[in-house]
């Protein structure tokens, strides 16, 4: 029986067992890594949506030009883009405040991010209402099904993020910057900033390029 190593035993100096608690693992880093993996699975969900978008776009012609023009409202989407990017910037400010250990800074940044997120949501739902009012609904045909699904799925994330922000404000108020609170604030950063990345795809490939579909 032979083992695969060239390490030889050094009598007296070879450490066989490590004392000290395994809790010495980098807990915060482990937490954010797992959350990042989750975030990537969510990206894969979007990728699958986009694959479906590519397939169903072949039948976009079922919609008249005016319907498509109403759906792909580039100006409105642009305003939404700015709101979302500003919200992301505000949360970035909160992260910088976290680095400095400033509770009020984190709170202000989070609240501003939350408000801007709600502004974004308000614009999206206004847009949906306008379309639904014209009878342009996900049930119309396959192409509109996937377009609405993409937009609404993204909006659901914003809702979840908003609730999460409220929870974090409460936890920070109660516990201060314990390691639990800190890693959750960082995960929230990953989550929130990721929404901006996804939005770039929706804005460009759905709203803008929808013009030439």
Partner 1 sequence: MTHSVDNPLHHPEVEQASFAGYLANFVITVVVMTAALWVVGDKSLSTLGFIGWTTLFAVVAVLVQAYFLLHMNWSKAQVWHTVAMLMFIPLFVVMIGLTAWMFHGLYERTMIAMPPHTMAAPMKRAAPAQAVPPVSQPVPAPKAM
Partner 2 sequence: MFVHLQGPWNPVWGRLSLQAIPYHNPILVGTFLFAVVIALAAVGAVLYFRAGPYLWREWLTTVDHKKIGVMYCLLGLVMLFRGFADALMIRTQQAIAVGPHSPGYLGALHGYLTPFHIGQVYTAHGLIMVVFAATPLLVGIMNIIVPLQIGARDMAYPYLNALGFWLTAAAAGLVMLSLFVGNFAHGGWYGFLPYFELPYSPGVGVDYWMWAFQLSAVGTTLGSINLIATIVKMRAPGMTWMRMPIFTWASLSTNLIALTSFPVLMVSLALLGLDRYFGTHFYTAGNGGNLMLYNDLFWVWGHPEVYFLILPAFGMMSEIIPTFSEKTLFGYTTMVVASFAIGGVSWGVWLHHFFTMAAEPSVNSFYSVTTMLVGIPTGVKVFNWIFTMYRGRVRFELPMMWAVLALFLLLVGGMSGMMNAFAANDYMWHNGVFVVAHFHMMVLLIAASIFGAVEYWFPKIFGFKLEQRWGKWFFWFMVLGTAWVFVPMFILGFTGMTRRLDYVPYTQWAPYLRVMLVGMAFYVIALVFFFAHLYVSLRDRVKNRVGADPWGTSRNLEWMTHSPVPAYNFAYIPHVHARDEWAWRKENGVASLANESFEDIHMPRNTGVPVLLGALSFVLCFGLIWRIWWLSAASLALVVLVIIVRSFARNTDEVITAKTVAGVEGAVDDALPSAARG
Binding site for partner 2 (CB under 8 A): 1-5, 7-9, 14-23, 25-26, 29-31, 33-34, 37-38, 40-42, 44-45, 47-49, 51-52, 55-56, 58-60, 62, 138-143, 145-146, 149, 163, 167, 170-171, 174-175, 184
Residue 48 contacts partner 1 per CB under 8 A: yes
Check binding of 62 to partner 1 (CB under 8 A): yes
Measured CA to CA in angstroms, residue 64 lies from 84, 137, 209, 210 at distances of 30, 14, 16, 13
Distance CA 189, CA 213 (A): 34
| Range in contact with partner 1 (rule: CB under 8 A) among 2-10, 98-106, 112-120, 158-166 | 98-106
State the nearest-atom distance from the C-beta of 69 to partner 1, in Å.
10
Residue of 1, 83, 92, 142 that binds partner 1 (CB under 8 A): 92
Residue 139 carries which DSSP code? T
Task: For residue 121, give the DSSP letter.
Answer: H
Tokens coding 48: 């699958």
From residue 87, alpha-carbon distances to 54, 81, 135, 158, 201 in Å are 30, 10, 32, 11, 18
Give Rg (Cα) of the chain: 23
Interface with partner 1, residue 209, by CB under 8 A: yes
Among 27, 156, 163, 170, binds partner 1 (CB under 8 A): 27
The binder of 92, among partner 1, partner 2, none, by C-beta within 5 to 8 A per type, is partner 1
Residue among 115, 117, 112, 119 at smallest CA distance from 90: 112
């Amino acid at each position: 029986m032979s083992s695969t190593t060239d390490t030889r035993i050094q009598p007296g100096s070879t450490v066989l067992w490590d004392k000290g608690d395994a809790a010495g693992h980098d807990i915060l880093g482990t937490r954010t890594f797992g959350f990042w993996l989750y975030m990537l699975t969510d990206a894969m969900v979007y990728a699958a949506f986009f694959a479906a978008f590519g397939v169903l776009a072949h039948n976009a012609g079922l919609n008249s030009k005016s319907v498509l023009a109403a759906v792909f409202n580039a100006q409105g989407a642009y305003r939404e883009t700015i709101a979302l990017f500003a919200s992301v910037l505000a949360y970035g400010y909160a992260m910088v405040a976290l680095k400095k250990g400033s509770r009020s800074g984190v709170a202000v940044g989070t609240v501003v991010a939350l408000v801007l997120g709600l502004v974004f949501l308000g614009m999206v739902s206004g847009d949906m209402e306008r379309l639904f009012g014209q009878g342009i609904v996900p049930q119309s045909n396959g192409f509109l099904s996937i377009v609405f699904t993409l937009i609404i799925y993204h909006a659901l994330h914003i809702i979840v993020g908003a609730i999460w922000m409220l929870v974090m404000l409460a936890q920070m108020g109660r516990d201060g910057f314990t390691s639990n609170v800190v890693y959750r604030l960082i995960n929230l950063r990953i989550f929130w900033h990721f929404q901006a990345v996804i939005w770039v795809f929706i804005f460009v490939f759905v709203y803008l390029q929808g013009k030439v579909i």
